[in-house]
A = this chain, B = another copy of it.
C-alpha cells in the first residue's frame, strides 16, 4: 500500500474558464513552499469550464493542514469563483459493497483489497440475497442480508441508509446489485454510488443487456462503470471497455466472457474514485491522470 509514500493534499477544482487560473493555483502552492507531485488540468472549450487536480506534499507546506481550505478559499477560490474539494491521501475512505447473487465483481474487489491494492476500509457488504454471505465470510467482512420486496422497499432502504450512517460509509459500490435504488437513496449519495452496467452504455440500457446484445447480433460486448443518478443507467460514465464476440457466442457465453470486462471496469472506477481522480460536471466525468 506504499505506506512510505509521503502524505499529500489533493485539490480538485472547477471554475468558469478565465486567464491565469493555473498560474494562480500553482503560485499559491509554490509561495507556501509546497512540492507539487502531480498536476493535471483541462479546459472544456465548448463549455468554457476549467478543471484541475493538483497534489502536493503536506510535509513542509507553510499552511497548517486544517487551515489550507480556508486559506485557499480566501486567496484563490473566492476571487476566481471556484468550486473545489480538498482531500488528504491519508484519509482512508470507507466503502460499502452491495451485491445480489453473482460473485465475480465482489471477488475482484475483495482480492484487490486483500492484496493491498485498494486503499479503503470495507466495514460492510450488503446483499439482497444470501448467496454472497459466504464470500464476505471468506474475507472476514460483515455481511448484512436485506431482502427487498415491492412492499418493504422503503423500509429496507431506510435500514440500508442507517447501516451506511452507522458504518460512516463514504461511498457505495454496486457490484452487480440487481435492485434499482430509489431517488431518495440516490440523492443522499451524489456522485458517491458507483454502478457497473454490463453493456457499453448507452447501448442496451436496462435488464438483460447480454440477451439484448445477442438478439441484435453485435460483434462486441462490454461494460460501463458510472455514478448512479436518478435516471436508470444514465449517470456520468467513469470507464468502459469491450471484448470481441462472434456468431458462436450465445447469451450464456456472453455472460461468461462479459464477467471479465465487468470486474475490471468496475475495479478501475473504484480505484479512480479512491485516488480522488474523478470529477463530475454536467453528467460527465473528468478523469485526471
Contact = CB atoms under 8 A, between A and B. Distances in A.
Interface in A230-289: 236-242, 244, 246-248, 250, 256, 259-260, 264, 267, 283-287, 289
A218 B240 contact: yes
Secondary structure class of chain A's binding surface, majority of residues: mixed
B217 A200 contact: no
Interface in A51-74: 51
Interface in A94-149: 102-104, 107-108, 111-112, 114-115, 117, 135, 138-139
Given A139-B138, A202-B216, A250-B46, A29 B35 contact: no
Contacts of A284: 217, 247
A220 B242 contact: yes
A182 interface: no
Interface in A9-62: 19-20, 22-24, 26-27, 29-30, 33-39, 41-46, 51
Copies of this polypeptide in the complex = 4
A23 B20 contact: no
A84 interface: no
A216 B242 contact: no
Contact of A237 (B35, B201, B216, B250): B216
A111 B115 contact: no
Nearest to A217: B284
A289 B287 CA distance: 13
B23 A29 contact: yes
A279 to B, nearest CB: 9
A247 B217 contact: no
A139 B33 CA distance: 50
A283 B112 CA distance: 34
Given A27-B23, A218-B240, A111 B107 contact: yes
A49 to B, nearest CB: 11
Given A22-B26, A23-B26, A201-B203, 16 more contacts: A20-B26, A22-B36, A23-B27, A24-B30, A42-B248, A45-B250, A103-B114, A104-B112, A117-B259, A200-B242, A201-B216, A202-B218, A217-B284, A219-B240, A220-B241, A264-B264
